[in-house]
Amino acid sequence: MDRIGQMQHTIERLTRPGRGILAADESYPTITKRLSDFGIESTEETRRFYRSLLATTPGIGEYVGGIIFFEETLGQRTDEGQLIPAACEAQDIVPGIKVDKGAVELAGSDGEKVTQGLDNLGDRLDGYVEQGALFTKWRNLYQITPELPSRQALEANAEVLARYAAIAQSRGMVPIVEPEVLMDGDHDLARCAAVTEAAQATLFEALRRHRVLLEAIILKPNMVLPGKGQPRPAVETCAEETLRVLRRTVPAAVPSINFLSGGQTSEEATAHLNAMNQAEGPKPWVMSFSFSRALQNPVQAAWAGIAQNKEAAQQAFLHRARLNSLAREGRYTA
């Protein structure tokens, strides 16, 4: 298969009806924090056990079409001794890999961030392909204040995200492009909508400049929500605002929009996804999930670092994934 055919095939597998994506690609500091919230120590072995538990959950391939991993996991094995990417394929789940190297201060800005990781990216991707990864993820983050994000931050981040996507596609890997507008702060819904629109508009200009094939990307945006410090409007209001921004910015050529959960509770994230799929009006893309916390929090709570809880943890994962699968079709009832 040629490069474009390969990406089309990966997109088809990731977007099959009822499926979404699990983001299990937390970097060392992030997974350490997530696990410690449930009293679990992050070691090479607990990370292996946990991520293998996710990938080998019986029946999970019905709801999860792809899992994004962190580099370490691609070389780890399940309890049965199978490499984790192969265990995913055995359930018809596409293995993916987070390839950015995190955010650093954007020099010359007022404390804003830019994501790094472009150096040697092509060579790194060649190695990930050998390990079985077929798609990639890169996350930008944008902080909202009354003055920020600046034009400088919007453009610098759009440029690196587009360059990453072009490099991934040159290897036949589907890029997930993630411009995350953070929920931290006291801003209102309208401010989040305006910043999300600006971030996406700037991103799509850059994707075009770098000749990224829009048919072979997945967009992973935040939902439009007010800052954490504000009361949450009705689920339908946030869904409508999110859709309004997406319709203005995301070309119909993009096959799938897989939202991040961004610190919402599991129930909120599922309800918002469901409301968007139920809403009236044009929706030319698949709208599904690429949640990390909203899928994994209940799993980590059920596991609690105790090996005997493995089955209960897998049940919790299956349950939450099934509800999000329903929401992806607009068929979830709380």
Query: How many Cα neighbours within 13 Å face the side chain of 204?
Result: 20
192 touching ligand 13P, by CB under 6 A: no
Count Cβ atoms below 10 Å from residue 3 Cβ, excluding itself. 14
Tell me which residues in 91-130 interact with ligand 13P (CB under 6 A). none
Listed residue (255, 264, 160) closest to 222, CA to CA: 264
DSSP letters, 89-139, are HHTT-EEEEE----EEE-TTSSS-EEE---TTHHHHHHHHHHTT--EEEEE
| Residue 204, SS3 per DSSP | helix
Catalytic member of 112, 178, 240, 241: 178
# chain residues binding ligand 13P, by CB under 6 A? 10
DSSP letters, 128-179, are HHHTT--EEEEEEEE---SS-S-HHHHHHHHHHHHHHHHHHHHTTPEEEEEE
156 touching ligand 13P, by CB under 6 A: no
Query: How many Cα neighbours within 13 Å face the side chain of 12?
Result: 6
Q: Which is nearer to ligand 13P, 78 or 292 (CB)?
A: 292
**How far is it, in rounded angstroms, from Cα 317 to Cα 63?**
10
Q: Among 163-171, 227-235, 244-252, 260-268, which window interacts with ligand 13P (CB under 6 A)? A: 260-268
Q: Among 74-82, 108-116, 226-234, 254-262, which window interacts with ligand 13P (CB under 6 A)? A: 254-262
Residue 310 appears among annotated catalytic residues: no
Residue 220 appears among annotated catalytic residues: yes
Binding track, positions 13-42, relative to ligand 13P; x by CB under 6 A: ----------x-------------------
48 touching ligand 13P, by CB under 6 A: no
Q: Which is nearer to ligand 13P, 68 or 134 (CB)?
A: 68
73 touching ligand 13P, by CB under 6 A: no
Among 19, 113, 124, 139, binds ligand 13P (CB under 6 A): 139
**How far is it, in rounded angstroms, from Cα 51 to Cα 58?**
14
| Residue 308, SS3 per DSSP | helix
Catalytic member of 220, 240, 241, 310: 220
61 touching ligand 13P, by CB under 6 A: no
Tell me which residues in 196-235 interact with ligand 13P (CB under 6 A). none
Among 10, 42, 261, 270, binds ligand 13P (CB under 6 A): 261
260 touching ligand 13P, by CB under 6 A: yes
Residue owning tokens 């003055």: 147
Q: Which is nearer to ligand 13P, 177 or 243 (CB)?
A: 177
The identity of residue 168, as a single letter, is A
Tell me which residues in 263-292 interact with ligand 13P (CB under 6 A). 291-292
CB of 102 to ligand 13P, least distance (A): 11
Contact predicate 317/299, CB 8 Å: yes
Q: Among 1-9, 53-61, 116-124, 256-264, which window interacts with ligand 13P (CB under 6 A)? A: 256-264
Distant-in-sequence contacts of 309-316, Cβ < 8 A, 24+ apart = 310/53, 313/53, 314/53, 314/56, 314/57, 314/58, 314/60
140 touching ligand 13P, by CB under 6 A: no
Listed residue (90, 74, 54) closest to 130, CA to CA: 74
Residues that bind ligand 13P (CB under 6 A): 23, 139, 178, 260-262, 291-294
Positions annotated as catalytic residues are 178, 220
